[in-house]
């Protein structure tokens, strides 16, 4: 009763921010992402590898992340998630889970997305459940990090918000596979690898409750999504890049206008360097180097470009004094099972 | 036919952003400001001094700002404004106007507010019009910088948006005079004295037209205003400061989410240092030093505090490497006529 899964991270081009049902992780808007795959210069990609073993010999649940015992919050989330999977299989064995990220943990690189998908896949496989990709996506969603629902699939992925109250239709679907438009690059630019202050799940709850502009977020995102999908279908980089950037700025506007953050702190994910890099991308674009950006709930910036500009942009990004690292990605495959285990 | 007026700058605690009528400068929401007055350590305050002379000996209109010929935009705006005043007086003399700011021009310190009010006052006085404060406020509004309407009055000032189509009821009123709560301090913190890229009047037009969240701005501002006025009436600093900060963040959210800025640039007034200072103020507040911030359409931050914390905060602000200057202000009197002329 042991299995290992590898799941990629992903980056939303139309963001997920806010739940209509907190316990079931049902979003207020459909959203859309590119699954992170390896590139020539980054053959590893950005992913989480997770091994889960169930055994009646274990007398407690164990959670190891990046070689260390998980903190209380991460432990509780994992146990709650695997309780759902134990329930589906009708067993109550204790588990041991070990998870490794090949990129910075908790700094806006959606390690919770790849982690949640890998966890759902490894655990359900270890218990012999043979789930469809759709059911696996529902289960990944229930990891607590909704965007995990998208990491199940490769390529260009839409998490459809669904209509059902039980959430069974709120899962991701693959809209275009990873071979549809392989020349797109997302350069994940590390400005600051400190763990961010407020988890997305908490932050979006604060926005729903106390952002006076929030009511217009779901329709803004749905409208961006409706324009983005045809742009990606026809491989129209200028339109798709600009929509991604617009949607990211609308997301951060919602965060900025959120009134009560946890512990009376505001919900500002930008670092000073985030603003500097956004302005830099605009300046490059003004001089004809076509690049856009998108930013999740953290300080780091993902620079979107086409393959032909990857080398130039990587050099320019690395020459900025506040950039620590640049990790290239392109559309890649979804979660998969692995033969070798972590323990 | 010559007069000189001195008008203070002001800082909105509930912002003005967007016009329902562009030509008449009619705002979409009522807004509220503190008029900048001198303090013990800054006996000059922040103001514009403007002399206007009309004469049939002049063969052209002349506009001098801070010792230099105004650029084309500023010149055209001044001529358009003084055309209205010439029309009211029924004359067509050419004018000479000279204006001096005792603070950085065009960097988010509302030099257009003090400038527009001083211009309206000096010009109408030079032509012998004896206008009520309300009528003067309407005329200052028509300078093109709506916030000039507020600089006519001292203390705590509301620019009521009005209901009339001709705009005659869209003027400022003094809600509390400058002696109501003299212990409030606004520390205007200069981070960057470069002239900003996009004038407020242009920026707000872009927001109205292309910010998908804009429709919720007017009601957000009106609701903030309704809670702010009683807080100022009872001198409740914690409530008033927080509302000002909340409203400022909502304003910058609207700017951030604005899609099409002029020349395809985004409407981001923040500098990296703006974010750094916002986070610093939150950190100070978390340790018990009560301060809030508000930020206009520029990179500079105004730190709001009470008199007893002014010295501590000034020291701390000046010790930050990216702070160039700190200019203290407190509630002060409105525009006035002066005896001495600039030329």
Contacts of A266 in chain B (CB under 8 A): 249, 278, 282
Residue B102 is encoded by which pair of tokens? 């005792």
CA distance B202 to B186: 27
pLDDT at B105: 61
Domain boundaries, chain B: 2-338
Q: How far is B118 from chain A (nearest CA, A)?
A: 34
pLDDT at A115: 95
What's the burial of B283, exposed, middle or buried (CB within 10 Å: 0-12/13-18/19+)? exposed
Rounded to an integer, the average pLDDT of B237-242 is 97
Query: Dihedral through CA A34, CA A40, CA A46, CA A50, nearest 10?
Result: 120
CB contact under 8 A, A270 and B268: no
CA distance A307 to B189: 43
CB contact under 8 A, A268 and B279: yes
CB contact under 8 A, B282 and A266: yes
Residue B106 has pLDDT above 60, yes or no: no
Residue B306 is encoded by which pair of tokens? 């009470």
Q: What string of H, E and C letters represents the secondary structure of chain A?
A: CEEEEEEECEEEEECCCCEEECCCCEECCCEEEEEEECCCCCCCCCEEEEEEEEECCCCCCEEEECCEECCHHHHHHHHHHHHHHHHHHCCCCEEEEEEEECCCCCCCCCHHHHHHHHHHHHHHHHCCCCCCHHHHHHHHHCCCCCCHHHHCCCCEEEECCCCCCCCCCCCEEEEECCCCCCCEEEEEEECCCCCCCCCHHHHHHHHHHHCCCHHHHHHHHHHHHHHHHHHHHCCCHHHHHHHHHHHHHHHHHHHHHCCCCHHHCCCCCCCHHHHHHHHHHHHHHHCCCCCEEECCCCCCEEEEEEHHHHHHHHHHHHHCCCCCEEEEEEECCCCEEECCCCC
- Who among B259, B265, B273 is closest to A272 (CB)? B273
Q: How far is A252 from chain B (nearest CA, A)?
A: 7
CB contact under 8 A, A256 and B253: yes
pLDDT at B134: 95
pLDDT at B261: 65
**More confident of the two residues B337 and B191:** B337
CB contact under 8 A, B286 and A265: yes
Contacts of B266 in chain A (CB under 8 A): 249, 278, 282
Residue B211 has pLDDT above 80, yes or no: yes
Residues 6+ apart with CB under 8 A from A31: A12, A14, A15, A16, A147, A150, A158, A159, A221, A225
CA distance A258 to A276: 22
Fold of B2-338: Ribosomal Protein S5; domain 2 (3.30.230)
pTM: predicted TM-score of the whole model, two decimal places: 0.94
Count interface pairs A-B at CB distance under 8 A: 86
Which backbone phi and psi does B303 adopt, to 5 degrees? -95, 125
Rounded to an integer, the average pLDDT of A230-239 is 98
- Who among B265, B282, B286 is closest to A282 (CB)? B265
Report residue B199's pLDDT band, with 50, 70 and 90 as the boundaries: confident
Residue B264 has pLDDT above 70, yes or no: no
CB contact under 8 A, B249 and A265: no
Q: Any bridge partners for residue B210, and if so which?
A: none
Residues of A with CB under 8 A from a CB of B: 212-213, 215-217, 219-220, 223, 246, 249-250, 252-254, 256-257, 259, 263-266, 268, 270-276, 278-279, 282, 286
Nearest to A218 by CA among A168, A186, A254, A185: A254
Nearest to A241 by CA among A13, A1, A12: A13
**More confident of the two residues A260 and B177:** B177
Contacts of A268 in chain B (CB under 8 A): 275, 278-279
pLDDT at A336: 97
Residue A49 has pLDDT above 80, yes or no: yes
Chain centroid to CA B87: 26
Cβ distance A89 to A128 under 8 Å? yes
Q: How far is B112 from chain A (nearest CA, A)?
A: 26
Which backbone phi and psi does B29 adopt, to 5 degrees? -145, 145
Residue of B nearest to A224 (CA): B212
Rounded to an integer, the average pLDDT of A268-278 is 94
Q: How far is B250 from chain A (nearest CA, A)?
A: 5
pLDDT at B222: 98
Q: Which residues of A51-78 are buried (b: 16+ CB within 10 A; e: fewer)?
A: bbbbeeeeeebebbbeeeebeeebbebb
Coil vs helix vs strand at B211: coil
Residue A193 has pLDDT above 90, yes or no: no
**Percent of chain B's residues with pLDDT above 70:** 95
Residue of A nearest to B210 (CA): A246
CB contact under 8 A, A265 and B254: no
Nearest to A116 by CA among A90, A87, A150, A89: A150
Report residue B198's pLDDT band, with 50, 70 and 90 as the boundaries: confident
- Who among B213, B217, B219 is closest to A220 (CB)? B213
pLDDT at A201: 87
Residue B197 has pLDDT above 90, yes or no: no
CB contact under 8 A, A275 and B274: yes
Q: Which of B257, B282, B283 to mutate to test the interface with A (most CBs of A within 10 A)?
A: B257
- Who among A253, A275, A286 is closest to B253 (CB)? A253
Rounded to an integer, the average pLDDT of B190-214 is 85
Strand B94-101 with B47-55, pairing: antiparallel
CB contact under 8 A, A279 and B268: yes
Residue linked to tokens 């709560």: B181
Cα distances (Å, whole numbers) of residue B319 to A91, B187, B294, B315: 61, 14, 20, 6
pLDDT at B201: 87
**Percent of chain B's residues with pLDDT above 90:** 89
Q: Which of A253, A286, A291, A322 to mutate to test the interface with B (most CBs of B within 10 A)?
A: A253
pLDDT tens for A122-162 read 999 999 999 999 999 999 999 989 999 999 999 999 999 99
Contacts of A275 in chain B (CB under 8 A): 268, 270-272, 274-275
Rounded to an integer, the average pLDDT of B247-261 is 94
Cα distances (Å, whole numbers) of residue A324 to A282, A292, A315, B250, B273: 20, 19, 12, 31, 19
Tell me the CB-side half-sphere exposure of residue A234, using CA atoms within 13 A.
8
**DSSP state, residue B180:** S
Residue A304 has pLDDT above 90, yes or no: yes
Report residue A273's pLDDT band, with 50, 70 and 90 as the boundaries: very high
CA distance B323 to A251: 29
Report residue A221's pLDDT band, with 50, 70 and 90 as the boundaries: very high
Question: What is the sign of the dihedral through the CA atoms of A50, A56, A61 and A64?
Answer: negative
Residue B88 is encoded by which pair of tokens? 């009211």
Residue B288 has pLDDT above 80, yes or no: yes
**More confident of the two residues B71 and B106:** B71
CB contact under 8 A, A275 and B278: no
Residue A198 is encoded by which pair of tokens? 């407020």
Extract long-range pairs of A128-133: CB within 8 Å, 24+ residues apart. Answer: A128/A1, A128/A89, A129/A85, A129/A88, A129/A89, A133/A334
**Alpha helix segments (H runs only) across chain B:** 72-89, 111-126, 133-141, 148-151, 200-210, 217-233, 237-257, 272-286, 310-319
pLDDT at A263: 60
CB contact under 8 A, B278 and A266: yes
Contacts of B279 in chain A (CB under 8 A): 268
State whether ipTM is beyond 0.85.
Answer: yes
Q: Which residues of A257-270 are buried (b: 16+ CB within 10 A; e: fewer)?
A: bbbbbeeebbbbbb
pLDDT at B117: 98
Report residue A57's pLDDT band, with 50, 70 and 90 as the boundaries: very high
């Amino acid at each position: 009763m042991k299995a290992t899964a590898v799941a990629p991270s992903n980056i939303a081009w139309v963001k997920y921010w806010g739940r209509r049902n907190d316990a079931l992780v049902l979003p207020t808007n459909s959203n859309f992402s590119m699954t992170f795959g390896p590139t020539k210069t980054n053959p590893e990609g950005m992913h989480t590898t997770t091994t889960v073993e169930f055994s009646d010999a274990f007398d407690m649940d164990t959670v190891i992340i990046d070689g260390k015992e998980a903190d209380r919050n991460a432990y509780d989330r994992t146990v709650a998630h695997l309780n759902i999977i134990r329930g589906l299989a009708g067993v109550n064995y204790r588990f041991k889970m070990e998870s490794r990220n090949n990129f910075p943990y908790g700094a806006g690189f959606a390690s919770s997305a790849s982690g949640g998908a890998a966890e759902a896949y490894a655990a359900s496989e270890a218990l012999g459940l043979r789930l469809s990709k759709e059911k696996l996506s529902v289960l990944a969603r229930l990891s607590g990090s909704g965007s995990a629902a998208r990491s199940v699939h490769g390529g260009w992925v839409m998490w459809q918000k669904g209509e059902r109250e039980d959430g069974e239709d709120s899962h991701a679907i693959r809209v275009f596979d990873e071979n549809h438009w392989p020349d797109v690059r997302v350069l994940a630019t590390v400005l600051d690898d400190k763990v961010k202050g407020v988890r997305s799940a908490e932050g979006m709850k604060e926005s729903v409750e106390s952002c006076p502009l929030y009511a217009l977020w779901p329709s803004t995102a749905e409208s961006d999504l409706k324009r983005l999908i045809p742009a990606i279908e026809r491989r129209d980089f200028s339109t798709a890049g600009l929509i991604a950037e617009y949607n990211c700025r609308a997301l951060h506007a919602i965060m900025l206008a959120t009134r009560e953050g946890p512990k009376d702190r505001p919900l500002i994910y930008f670092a000073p360097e985030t603003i500097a890099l956004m302005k830099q991308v605009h300046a490059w674009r003004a001089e004809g180097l076509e690049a856009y950006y998108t930013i999740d709930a953290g300080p780091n910036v993902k620079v979107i470009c086409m393959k032909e500009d990857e080398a130039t942009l990587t050099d320019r990004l690395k020459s900025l004094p506040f950039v620590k690292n640049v990790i290239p990605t392109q559309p890649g495959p979804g979660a998969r099972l692995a033969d070798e285990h972590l323990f």
